[in-house]
């Protein structure tokens, strides 16, 4: 059964990556209601994680053949991948993307296997002050790394924190911010928010901006890279894997930033940087390796600390909660079958994806011919049925539609939804940790700086803030040229 759901997740993830307009977070949110009927939490997480890292594979197909990123982490692949395709080397580009993704994913899983257990053992020493400092740092990094505008990230994070406060006070048990609505006393449901923002919101935005795609008609041949191709890209794959792995550990980092950094580094170390943008195979190998390694390593904070680092992982966090498993440092000891089962499924899923993306590339090209006007109503129906089936509540359906409108306007105004979701998930953890810490210290905030781990985390947070302002000041000095 687990093998079947691993294969299903891999196939769905690849399809999601191939189809422009749908991302892994939106698809995991849409398919989350299906897991309600799956009795085993391990099986549910295997399928959802397969969708996540499978989308990283599939995104390269659209980027290379259409010059349109199938999902956001593949945007850099368009630069050199499409140029290779125009020169008749689409097969080589697709091949190195799949093989690089497989190597990076496998190295990332090995890192997950080796790093998560000792990190979880260390995190068992955490008390409320340490968790408060860790979640604060996570919120800060998610804002800083989420997009081009930190101010917009702060606004969406504050909105997410405000939404997480709606419902009964966790200590006093009194209603707060419910506006007298009885249904809100239980809080705003995470699934409803996620499906509204990433499901309905994405549909509305993509229907407005959807354009007919022109598929490259050149016959795809020589999918397997030559020895020359492999010699040119082997170090790019390894560098991208390392960059992606460490970037994926950061809250708010994830696959998008990993691919951007990997491409910039590859261009910097190249003997002839002018080749980039004109079909350099390293420009495909490095970012594709980076986004797959980041997708895998982003499971480490979730499974070892109980802290989700990006929207897709936050939805998997919700799936674990729905199935009665609290992601925390004790997860590996209390539910070893879940942790090691997910690790084993990732090894197998990566092999499945290699076979799905190399020999079956022609099938995925045909999938690109499906019009979004057909997909959008189907996705709408799935959203409505999924939200209603969770609690059989029409109120949840209206809330989902409301957040669908919020998601649409956020996309129109270029606001990132990632900080909102992460703040919504981390908000209750942060609030409870702060309140418990203050109760322990009889109301004194000094407890956060007198304990070594929490003080260290807060120092890192301060350094991040100082670094942001110093970089901004340096940019202003560069742009300010003296008169005359």
Average pLDDT over residues 181-194: 81
Range of 43-47, 137-141, 195-199, 269-273 with top mean pLDDT: 43-47
pLDDT at 477 over 80: no
Residue 140's pLDDT is what?
Answer: 84
Q: 270-274, 464-468, 479-483 — which is least confidently predicted?
A: 479-483
pLDDT at 195 over 80: no
pLDDT at 82 over 60: yes
DSSP assignment of 448-462: HHHSHHHHHHHHHHH
Residue 221's pLDDT is what?
Answer: 61
Residue 344's pLDDT is what?
Answer: 92
Residue 110's pLDDT is what?
Answer: 92
Cα→Cα distances 126→29, 102, 175, 252, 263, Å: 31, 35, 30, 22, 37
If pLDDT is split at 50, 70 and 90, which confidence band does 484 have?
very low
pLDDT digits (tens, 9 = 90+) for 155-171: 888 998 999 888 888 77
Residue 100's pLDDT is what?
Answer: 86
Instruction: Choose between 229 and 287: higher pLDDT.
Output: 287
From the CB of residue 3, how many other CB atoms can be counted at a distance below 10 Å? 12
Rounded distance between C-alpha atoms, residue 416 and residue 202, angstroms: 12
If pLDDT is split at 50, 70 and 90, which confidence band does 21 have?
low
Average pLDDT over residues 193-210: 75
If pLDDT is split at 50, 70 and 90, which confidence band does 274 have?
confident
At 141, list the tokens.
């990094």
| Bridge partner residues of 168 (DSSP) | 175
Cα→Cα distances 317→219, 279, 321, 441, Å: 42, 39, 6, 30
- pTM listed for this prediction: 0.77
- Per cent of the chain over pLDDT 90 is 4
Instruction: Choose between 359 and 431: higher pLDDT.
Output: 431
Average pLDDT over residues 358-379: 70
Cα→Cα distances 68→65, 79, 92, 391, Å: 8, 10, 18, 38
At 95, list the tokens.
């091949």
Average pLDDT over residues 57-80: 72
Residues 6 or more apart in contact with residue 289 via CB below 8 angstroms:
100, 101, 103, 104, 236, 237, 238, 239, 240, 241, 244, 262
pLDDT at 129 over 50: yes
- Alpha-carbon dihedral of residues 245, 249, 254, 257, nearest 10 degrees? -70
Average pLDDT over residues 170-188: 82
Q: Smallest Cα–Cα separation from 375: which of 53, 11, 25, 26?
A: 26
Q: What is the largest CA-CA distance in the chain?
A: 73
pLDDT at 340 over 90: yes
309 close to 249: Cβ distance less than 8 angstroms: yes
Instruction: Choose between 200 and 156: higher pLDDT.
Output: 156
109 close to 116: Cβ distance less than 8 angstroms: no
Range of 178-187, 311-320, 344-353 with top mean pLDDT: 344-353
Residue 184's pLDDT is what?
Answer: 84
If pLDDT is split at 50, 70 and 90, which confidence band does 22 have?
low
Rounded distance between C-alpha atoms, residue 317 and residue 310, angstroms: 10
């Amino acid at each position: 059964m687990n093998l079947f759901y691993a294969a299903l997740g891999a196939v769905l993830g690849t399809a999601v990556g191939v189809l422009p307009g749908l991302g892994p977070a939106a698809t995991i949110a849409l398919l989350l209601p299906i897991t309600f009927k799956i009795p085993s939490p391990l099986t549910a997480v295997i399928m959802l994680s397969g969708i996540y890292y499978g989308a990283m594979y599939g995104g390269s197909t659209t980027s290379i053949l259409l010059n349109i990123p199938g999902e956001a982490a593949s945007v850099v692949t368009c630069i050199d991948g499409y140029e290779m395709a125009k020169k008749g080397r689409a097969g080589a580009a697709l091949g190195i993307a799949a093989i690089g993704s497989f190597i990076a994913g496998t190295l990332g899983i090995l890192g997950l296997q080796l790093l998560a257990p000792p990190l979880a053992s260390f995190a068992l020493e955490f008390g409320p002050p340490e968790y408060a400092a860790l979640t604060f740092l996570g919120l800060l990094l998610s804002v800083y790394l989420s997009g081009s505008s930190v101010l917009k990230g702060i606004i969406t994070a504050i909105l997410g924190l405000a939404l997480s406060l709606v419902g009964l006070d966790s200590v006093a048990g009194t209603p707060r911010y419910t506006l007298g609505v009885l249904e809100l006393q239980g809080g705003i449901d995470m699934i409803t928010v996620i499906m509204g923002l990433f499901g309905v919101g994405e549909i509305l935005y993509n229907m407005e901006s959807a354009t007919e795609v022109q598929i490259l008609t050149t016959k795809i041949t020589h999918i397997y890279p030559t020895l020359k191709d492999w010699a040119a890209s082997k170090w790019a794959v390894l560098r991208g894997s390392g960059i992606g792995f460490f970037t994926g550990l950061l809250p708010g980092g994830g696959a998008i930033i990993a691919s951007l950094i990997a491409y910039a580094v590859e261009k910097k170390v190249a003997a002839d940087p002018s080749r980039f943008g004109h079909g350099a195979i390293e420009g495909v190998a490095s970012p594709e390796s980076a986004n797959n390694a980041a997708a895998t390593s982003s499971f480490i904070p979730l499974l070892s600390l109980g802290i989700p680092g990006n929207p897709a992982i936050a939805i998997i966090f919700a799936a674990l909660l729905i199935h009665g498993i609290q992601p925390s440092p004790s997860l590996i000891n209390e539910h070893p079958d879940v942790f090691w089962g997910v690790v084993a499924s990732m090894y197998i899923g990566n092999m499945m994806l290699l076979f799905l993306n190399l020999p079956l590339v022609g099938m995925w090209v045909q999938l690109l011919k499906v019009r979004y006007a057909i997909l959008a109503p189907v996705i709408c129906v799935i959203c409505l049925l999924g939200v209603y089936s969770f609690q059989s509540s029409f109120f949840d359906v209206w809330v989902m539609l409301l957040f669908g409108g919020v998601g649409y306007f956020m996309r129109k105004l270029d606001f990132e939804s990632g900080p909102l979701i992460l703040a919504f998930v981390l908000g209750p953890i942060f609030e409870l940790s702060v309140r418990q810490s203050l109760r322990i210290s009889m109301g004194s905030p000094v407890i956060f700086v007198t304990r070594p781990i929490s003080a260290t985390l807060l120092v890192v947070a301060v350094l991040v803030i100082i670094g942001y302002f110093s970089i901004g000041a340096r940019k202003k000095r560069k742009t300010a040229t003296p008169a005359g």
